[in-house]
Amino acid sequence: MSRPARPGVTTAPALIATVAAVALGLTLFLPASADLWSEPAKPTAPSAPAQPKPSTPPAAPATQPSPERGGAGTTPEATPLTRLGGIGPLTGPRANVGAILRVAQAIVARGGAGEVVVKDDGSMPLRTIPAARFLENYHRVQAFLSPLETYPVASLVPYLGYTKTPTLFLSTTVSQWATGPRVIGFPPAGAGTTQVLAQAMQRVVDERVEIRRGEPATQGVWVVWADTEDGRDRIVGFRKAGLTGVTEISMQPESKAALPGGAAPEAVLIIGTPRSVVEIAGAIQALPPACMGGETMLACAQPPAIFAAVFEPYDWTELASVPKLAVADWLRTDAATLAGHRSVLQQVLPEERPSRLTLWGHALGEVTNEVLRRAGPNADGAKLLEAARSLRNWQSPLLPAITLDTHDRWPIEHVAMVTLTRGQPSERSAWLPVPRP
């Protein structure tokens, strides 16, 4: 059944920037969920349609939402829907991340309280500001929907600061520039999540030392981190954990880390993009193990335990080349949740292959639907922000409980440790509390 079209809006232009992240993570796990992540997501990024001329009103969208259009069919008589704008990589090297926005758009259309209009940035920062202007001036969006920590979206920060357009997002971390009064996010604290990872590393190291009857490994613990805003935020969480015998190794973006010579470490935490995690993990696995004892009684340490705090939105299959890897995740991935996600995805976007990214988009769509429901029809940016701040212990079937108010920008307070075996979630811990900044 088609939904009413949105007549011209009389409110001031407003925005919501597109997802991003995990820089920006939501997350998944469990052996029962392995079928969901069995192959890399195959994005169905459509070619960008020609932009209509300003003198022509936007074409009425089809029943099924598509990128660069709203999420529902429309008729002019009904109450105007709140319109959100999303900018994301539907094409280019990060086109797989576009699944987050495509699914969120479809979930919002299914909810009926609003619509999301998506513009492709081609994974190129230079395209984000023109896309934002088009969405704001032509489609008259009330806010932007985004994962802020993705590198193309970061280029929007000066523009958003100038226009003061509200932004809602669901991502893995919140940089300092994303905590303004008109920005509402639904992530755990980046530094706090890394602290949870560090504590998990310490438990593994302690267990190994106990097996060796107190004999520590000669190489200790390494943390390799990208010297970016996200990296500097997350290394703070690692340092707060107070691990001993740590060697810190910083690296510049897009460059390889200079690893110490000699044997492999007992454990390592890699803080960086999916690509850097894979590259550094491979280099560490190539190092010889630390060995102790004489020629006749040589005892060698186990292969290093590898942990990762991953920037940018990513799918677990991108990390499949690492034999075993532990990450902190904040998406529910029990069998019932994953079955429900597959069922919903089949209804709203049957051509989209289920993955961690589609689950992330589903969660973003559900949170957005709740905000739209509370804001009421044809809500402006101020009402959207007020509705987001009203969430108190709101429970989604896909996320741990969310509580957000004016003073709390990190409303997800729990994550789980997930062990990936060749890109498949094989183990999952109980929910672990995330220390607040």
What is the model's pLDDT at position 224? 96
- Residue identified by tokens 């609003």 is 114
Q: Taken in order 352, 355, 359, 365, is the CA torsion positive or negative?
A: negative
Q: What is the mean pLDDT of residues 350-376?
A: 93
Q: Give dist(CA 272, CA 374) in Å, integer.
A: 37
Picking from 216, 227, 222, 231, the residue whose alpha carbon sits closest to that of residue 284 is 222
What is the model's pLDDT at position 69? 52
- Greater confidence (358 vs 177) lies with 358
What is the model's pLDDT at position 143? 87
Averaged pLDDT of the chain = 78
What is the model's pLDDT at position 57? 41
CA angle 213, 219, 220 (to 5 degrees): 65
Picking from 363, 408, 23, 361, the residue whose alpha carbon sits closest to that of residue 190 is 23
What is the model's pLDDT at position 433? 92
- Residue 329 has φ and ψ, to the nearest 5°, of -130, 155
Architecture of domain 191-329: 3-Layer(aba) Sandwich (3.40)
Residue 247, both tokens: 């060697």
What is the model's pLDDT at position 312? 80
Q: Give dist(CA 29, CA 329) in Å, integer.
A: 8
- Would you list the domain boundaries of the chain? 14-187+334-406, 191-329
Q: Give dist(CA 369, CA 374) in Å, integer.
A: 9
pLDDT confidence band for 175 (50 / 70 / 90): low
Residue by residue, what is the 3-state secondary structure of 45-71? CCCCCCCCCCCCCCCCCCCCCCCCCCC
**Domain 14-187+334-406 adopts which CATH fold?**
Rossmann fold (3.40.50)
Over residues 43-52, the pLDDT tens digits come to: 444 444 444 4
DSSP 331-374: S---HHHHHHHHHHHHHH-TTSPP-HHHHHHHHHHHHHHHHHHH
How many C-beta atoms lie closer than 10 Å to residue 297's C-beta? Answer: 7
Over residues 126-143, the pLDDT tens digits come to: 888 899 899 999 999 988
CA dist 332 → 116, 192, 399 (Å): 24, 19, 6
Cβ proximity of 12 and 380 under 8 Å: yes
What's the predicted TM-score (pTM) here?
Answer: 0.78
